[in-house]
Chains A and B, each alone.
Chain A
């Protein structure tokens, strides 16, 4: 071997042995020195080619050759490549091959491929190689390196070729682990999404059911509430205060009234859950909606926090009661869940309300819970974002609330201080011309008002009867269970201050009734107030648009009397 290139450097180490200064030894030492100089030069990188002797004379091997590019390519590609001898010995592999397997490169080349094949796969692997000998074969395998923590799922392609007369198998390996891991993640995410959709679906079914139940309960409940009111009024006739029967009756009626009021609140709450409920926008009192929402979660709140209500000055708003109720409920539940149970004394959920300069209702629900981290805060209104475990939160509550408030042309925002609590703020446009409603006027005040005329249309005979009894002391009242009869009365010239009409009636709906009345007598049609105990809409049906304000069942007689006095103050009815 000779060197080409620059002159050699001095030897790394000089031999100092001079105890046998013979000519032969001197010559040997000189040759040794020369050899060491040569080696040192090569090692130091002072040469750029080697001259190698062979049967066909000397050949020059340049040290950085054209094949270097192929080698770089081999090690840069994303497939693993290895060559196997016929006996299954790995004689070459690129860096990717060992990277996929997680094997140590120096323990891969020069070792049998069987080291990486699972025992149960060995026969199948041999068959793959045998098939590769005939051309090209492919198969999927799980390969495991002894030092790798996890096995690798790979696709192997085998090509056979002959090098220097020996059969060699080229093995190309594609990593499927990363691909599978990705698809497994997608599948897991999909499963989680499905679980949440299922829950959302169940909630929606509950909503449909609730709307139906609410309707069924509210009609008879309206009768119960009104009857109890009437009974309360006549209690004094039973005898002087302190009489045994009088007191007993008072207690019983009081209990029944309390019970009926609780049923009314619960049914109202059920309706707040109902997502398939109507989309009707009416003038509503958000304070009532808040009351109902709070009633529904009061049991949850009790163990976690003190509740503070401060929303007396809220104005009337133009909204959908059920939807708004759902929003408040979601926000209250959210606040409740942010507080861990057991320290109710130290925690507070505050519901406050006010009216802003533009007449909008501003409702703030604040808690002293865990708060929301700054990186989560921008995400909380995104659908399916939840920090709760699967099956505990749908990730929909705040997203739905957000959608609802948007649909009401309102705004919902959140601010939070992790560890100190969060504040959710809902701003809803006020009802046109609405001001904060006064406290319900007392019945005493109403009794001195002039008498008006009320037409009450409802297919429930019982309700007609109790309303007639309740209103008769204050106003003239005409009741009918048929909308057709009501139309005939107006056609015959009868005039009313208020026409209260149920929405859902078998022969003619309240909406149809109003439409026909409007065609005949617009000014009387403008006095219609609709009543409903909750009505449902089938999927696909257009949203129900109520032409007139809505009085929700069950209602209190005071509400009817208030409607009457408002109508009479606004505009005296035409002469009968």
Chain B
């Protein structure tokens, strides 16, 4: 049990990571939970050491929806590098997410 849990190492925060990914969720919903978990897994596999994830709970900060023109949650926005790209959904299909974010 011990080995299986808490397996994510403490990441070092880079001053300016190459990829800044902002995920908009709405509170404690299964879809949001899954989206967060999936995004993390994708980033660790494909962008190890080059990413920063920001998760915005729109219930806590509704004002943040306006800046990024968010219509529904979960929505993932690639903040940098520009131009912005966005993917909607629980991010369960890694290849679709990578394509949407233009990550090869």
Contact = CB atoms under 8 A, between A and B. Distances in A.
Interface of A: 39, 42-43, 50, 67-68, 71, 74-75, 83-92, 94-95, 105-115, 117, 119, 125-127, 129-130, 133, 146, 163-164, 166, 168
B56 A106 contact: yes
Interface string B32-67: 111011011000000000001111110111000000
A573 to B, nearest CB: 100
B57 A110 contact: no
B59 to A, nearest CB: 5
Given A91-B32, A92-B28, A109-B55, A114 B40 contact: no
Contact of A129 (B5, B9, B37, B61): B5
A125 B2 CA distance: 11
Given A106-B55, A109-B36, A88 B7 contact: yes
B103 interface: no
B54 A146 contact: no
A112 B54 contact: no
Interface string B1-27: 110111111110100000000110101
In order of increasing CB-CB distance, the 9 nearest A-B pairs are A88-B6, A109-B55, A110-B55, A112-B8, A106-B54, A114-B10, A110-B53, A92-B28, A91-B33
A112 B61 contact: no
Contacts of A39: 71
Contacts of B11: 111-112, 115
Contacts of B7: 87-88
Nearest to A82: B28
Contacts, number: 110
Given A39-B71, A83-B33, A91-B36, A105 B6 contact: no
A107 B34 CA distance: 17
B6 A43 contact: no
B83 interface: no
Interface residues of B, number: 36
A421 B92 CA distance: 78
A109 B25 contact: yes
B60 A107 contact: no
Contacts of B8: 87-89, 112, 114
Nearest to B25: A109
B71 A42 contact: yes
A113 B6 contact: yes
Nearest to A50: B72
Among B28, B60, B61, B72: residue with most chain A CB under 10 A: B28
Given A42-B71, A111-B55, 14 more contacts: A75-B60, A85-B36, A85-B37, A92-B57, A95-B60, A106-B56, A107-B13, A110-B54, A112-B6, A112-B11, A126-B5, A133-B1, A164-B30, A164-B34
Contacts of A125: 6
9 contacts: A43-B71, A91-B33, A92-B33, A105-B56, A105-B57, A107-B54, A109-B25, A109-B57, A114-B9
